[in-house]
Amino acid sequence: MNRVHMRVLLYAALLLLGVAGPWLFPSYIGQMGDLWLFIVFALTWDLCGGQMGYNSFGNVFFLGLGMYGCVVTQVGLFHSVSQYTAARGGSAEFEFNALQWLTGLLVGLPVGALVALVGAVVFGALILAMRGHYFAICTLGLGIAAGELASGWQWIGAGSGMTTPLPPDSLGDTNVLLYYLAFGLAAINFAIFRWLYTTRFGLAINAIRDDEEKAEAMGLRTTRIKVTAWAIGAVFLGFAGGILGNFKAFIDPIDVAFSGATFGVWMILMAMLGGKGTLWGPVIGAVVFQFTKELFWTYLLGWQRVALGLLIVLIVVFFPTGILGWLREHFPERFGRGADEPSPPNGVEPTTEGRA
Amino acid sequence: MSVMLEVRNVSKSFGGVRANRDVSLSVPQGGIVGLIGPNGSGKTTLFSSIVGYHPIDSGSIRFEGRELSRLRVPQIAREGLLRTFQQTRIYGEMTCTENMIISADLRRSGVLDLFRPYTRSMRDRAHELLEFVGLYEKRRLQAGSLSFGQQKLLEFAMALMNEPKMLMLDEPTAGINPTLINGLIDRLKRANAEYGVTLFVIEHNMRVIMDLVDHVYCLAHGEMLADGTPGEVQNDPRVLDAYLGAH
């Protein structure tokens, strides 16, 4: 069985798992939905952090923007947002019928993504002018500042947060719908990034990672390329934020929307665990991370955060290049560079020649 | 021959250090011009001024009649004036072929054009130029794993891939073993003759200067000391003094 067959089989298995998930494991819909969203988190973080060399600690900024953008649209289409937040959601006067609820979600998700996109373009040009540690610190501040601002803004519920519209009973279990949205988003995200890394844009962000000054000297429009990359990540994170907000049903500005201490760190951890700067690394990292996290939360309750911290230390010390990086070093013929890239047009040449 | 690059009365200071004082020179289209001078005489500063790394204090730099001194680095590169670095710079974690493909000419394309997969002809051109510098066999290796000399050759090939009108090379033969130097001189001459690239070369190795260039300028203490054919400059007593320390 050659590599192409293997790949087709792998994609088919994943697709089947994704589609049949809710029937196979009906009691784990929430965890599996989270997993698909985590894959989006890791992929989008890796676009800038791994492929472009810009380590961002503030990607939760886009997640939160998407989340608030979505829920405000969901509510605002049919009711007054300020009255809704003043009543702390749930009260009976804010009922949504099936059509309203679905319309709100379908309009809200793209609006959330759009808000995240605007945020990325506005702040990207400023923040991406900084390099290395300065960029990292600045993005950290961006996420924290956004959380603080959101918890002071009465219109969106300030520190008491916001509940997402309650789906009417007639719709049944909307978690299944959200699950499929999450799965669809992850699949589209992966497909688009897979294509993206075969274009010259993919090479351009790699060039910026390796030597930005050289890239400029060769005439690349580095600022535009960097902002574009950040914005692409932001759009997917914006969609993910809208879905996640509805999954959680309650949006706390600091613990859910702009949660640097959980999602913000996990994004980076998943990408590093799987292998920074690769296509499959973030996916593998997200899967492994979600399983270990759930196991820790189930069997080590009370110590789960200690265990997670220990995991981070172990990854950094023993697998600095991540799972995929480790596999590439030890099994270059199977996982070497080129294994997850389309074969060259004249595919007769060995793809791992001389690489150890 | 028409003048391609014209530097007029350029001065540049860093704090109290006057790195370039009132420097003027010109490079004709299609020519090969050299720039020599003792260490610290301001050669690299002049190169950096020309390609826009820092603003100059006074003077003017014109490339094909267009003033460059207000443009930024990538803009100047897209005008067709490219430089290579003294400390060789390549994209270390990418393969040689990838290094070449991302270096291809971007003058007429915007960011959106980057979203097209690269074409077969682009890859063929990359391989052709890698063959030209003798790195075809290494095309799938990570560029960072090449030896220093090979990285210099790769950087040269990347510059050619960009199809510049003029290429400024900062010590192209430094750190390359003597037998490879002849091959490099030959390739520089061929790039000039076959691809029509004007060359402007900083070099310490006088043998390279004698073999390669038509005209040479000598900087000392930031000022233009002498210029002429390599033979003239080599025998100029002021140049000998500058190198041997009579000042």
Maximum mean pLDDT: which of A109-118, A164-173, A330-339: A109-118
Out of A75-89, A333-347, B155-169, pick the least confident: A333-347
Question: B54 at the A interface (CB within 8 A)?
Answer: no
Residues of A in Cβ contact (< 8 Å) with B81: none
In a domain, A110, yes or no: yes
Whether residue A172 is predicted with pLDDT greater than 60 in this model: the reply is yes
What average pLDDT does range B210-238 have in this prediction? 88
In a domain, A14, yes or no: no
pLDDT tens per residue, range B3-50: 899 999 999 999 888 888 999 999 999 999 999 988 888 888 999 999
Question: pLDDT over 90 for what percent of chain A?
Answer: 39
Q: How far is CA A129 from the centre of its chain?
A: 23
Whether residue A14 is predicted with pLDDT greater than 50 in this model: the reply is yes
pLDDT at residue A21 in the model: 83
- Rounded CA-CA distance A69/A77 in Å is 12
pLDDT band at B243 (very low <50, low <70, confident <90, very high): confident
Whether residue B152 is predicted with pLDDT greater than 70 in this model: the reply is yes
In a domain, B31, yes or no: yes
Identify the CA nearest to A293 among candidates A278, A275, A273, A276. A273
In a domain, B203, yes or no: yes
pLDDT at residue A346 in the model: 41
Q: What is the phi-psi region of residue A277: left when phi exceeds 0, alpha when psi lies from -120 to 50, beta otherwise?
A: left
Q: Residue B185: which CATH number?
A: 3.40.50.300
- Do B125 and A250 touch, CB atoms closer than 8 A? no
**Tally of domains within chain B:** 1
Whether residue A180 is predicted with pLDDT greater than 70 in this model: the reply is yes
What average pLDDT does range A330-343 have in this prediction? 60
What average pLDDT does range B86-102 have in this prediction? 90
Among candidates A211, A225, A228 on the partner chain, residue whose Cβ is nearest the Cβ of B91: A211
Out of A28-37, A194-203, A337-346, B179-188, pick the least confident: A337-346
User: How many angstroms separate the first and last alpha carbons of chain B?
Assistant: 36
Residues of B in Cβ contact (< 8 Å) with A224: 111
Out of A41-55, A129-143, A332-346, pick the least confident: A332-346
pLDDT band at A92 (very low <50, low <70, confident <90, very high): low
Whether residue A66 is predicted with pLDDT greater than 90 in this model: the reply is yes
Whether residue A176 is predicted with pLDDT greater than 70 in this model: the reply is yes
In a domain, B101, yes or no: no
In a domain, B30, yes or no: yes
pLDDT at residue B94 in the model: 92
In a domain, B109, yes or no: no
**Tally of domains within chain A:** 1
pTM over 0.90: no
Per the prediction, chain A carries an average pLDDT of 85
Whether residue A229 is predicted with pLDDT greater than 50 in this model: the reply is yes
pLDDT at residue A355 in the model: 36
In a domain, A109, yes or no: yes
The more confident residue out of A211 and B117 is A211
Six-digit token string for B90: 């390549």
In a domain, A153, yes or no: yes
In a domain, B103, yes or no: no
Residues of B in Cβ contact (< 8 Å) with A196: 115
Amino acid occupying residue A345: P
In a domain, B144, yes or no: no
Among candidates A216, A218, A354 on the partner chain, residue whose Cβ is nearest the Cβ of B141: A354
- Do A201 and A225 touch, CB atoms closer than 8 A? yes
pLDDT at residue A196 in the model: 92
The owner of tokens 């990418």 is B94
Q: Which of A47, A218, A351 to mutate to test the interface with B (most CBs of B within 10 A)?
A: A218
The more confident residue out of A255 and A237 is A237
Taking residue A76's Cβ as centre, other Cβ atoms within 10 Å add up to 16
SS3 of chain A: CCHHHHHHHHHHHHHHHHHHHHHHCHHHHHHHHHHHHHHHHHHHHHHHHCCCCCCCCCCHHHHHHHHHHHHHHHHHCCCCHHHHHHCCCCCCCCCCCHHHHHHHHHHHHHHHHHHHHHHHHHHHHHHCCCCHHHHHHHHHHHHHHHHHHHCCCHHHCHHHCEECCCCCHHHCCHHHHHHHHHHHHHHHHHHHHHHHCCEHHHHHHHHHHHCHHHHHHCCCCHHHHHHHHHHHHHHHHHHHHHHHHHHHCEECHHHHHCCHHHHHHHHHHHHHHHCCCCCCHHHHHHHHHHHHHHHHHHHCCCCHHHHHHHHHHHHHHHCCCHHHHHHHHHCHHHHCCCCCCCCCCCCCCCCCCCCC
From A142's Cα to the closest Cα of chain B, the distance in A is 26
The owner of tokens 């702040």 is A123
Whether residue B201 is predicted with pLDDT greater than 90 in this model: the reply is yes
Taking residue A140's Cβ as centre, other Cβ atoms within 10 Å add up to 16
What average pLDDT does range A203-231 have in this prediction? 91
Question: B78 at the A interface (CB within 8 A)?
Answer: yes
SS3 of chain B: CCEEEEEEEEEEEECCEEEEEEEEEEEECCCEEEEECCCCCCHHHHHHHHCCCCCCCEEEEEECCEECCCCCHHHHHHCCEEECCCCCCCCCCCEHHHHHHHCCCCCCCCHHHHHCECCHHHHHHHHHHHHHCCCHHHCCCEHHHCCHHHHHHHHHHHHHHCCCCEEEEECCCCCCCHHHHHHHHHHHHHHHHHCCCEEEEECCCHHHHHHHCCEEEEEECCEEEEEECHHHHHCCHHHHHHHHCCC
In a domain, B160, yes or no: no
pLDDT band at B246 (very low <50, low <70, confident <90, very high): low
Whether residue A25 is predicted with pLDDT greater than 90 in this model: the reply is no
pLDDT at residue A226 in the model: 93
- Do A130 and A119 touch, CB atoms closer than 8 A? no
pLDDT tens per residue, range B110-141: 777 888 778 888 889 999 999 998 899 888 88
Q: What is the ipTM of this complex?
A: 0.86
Are the beta carbons of B118 and A199 separated by less than 8 Å? yes
- Rounded CA-CA distance A311/A299 in Å is 15
Residues of A in Cβ contact (< 8 Å) with B107: 219
In a domain, A163, yes or no: no
Range of the domain at B193: 3-90+165-244
pLDDT at residue B107 in the model: 64
pLDDT at residue A352 in the model: 39
Range of the domain at A193: 31-158+168-335
What average pLDDT does range B74-79 have in this prediction? 88
Per the prediction, chain B carries an average pLDDT of 88
From B236's Cα to the closest Cα of chain A, the distance in A is 35
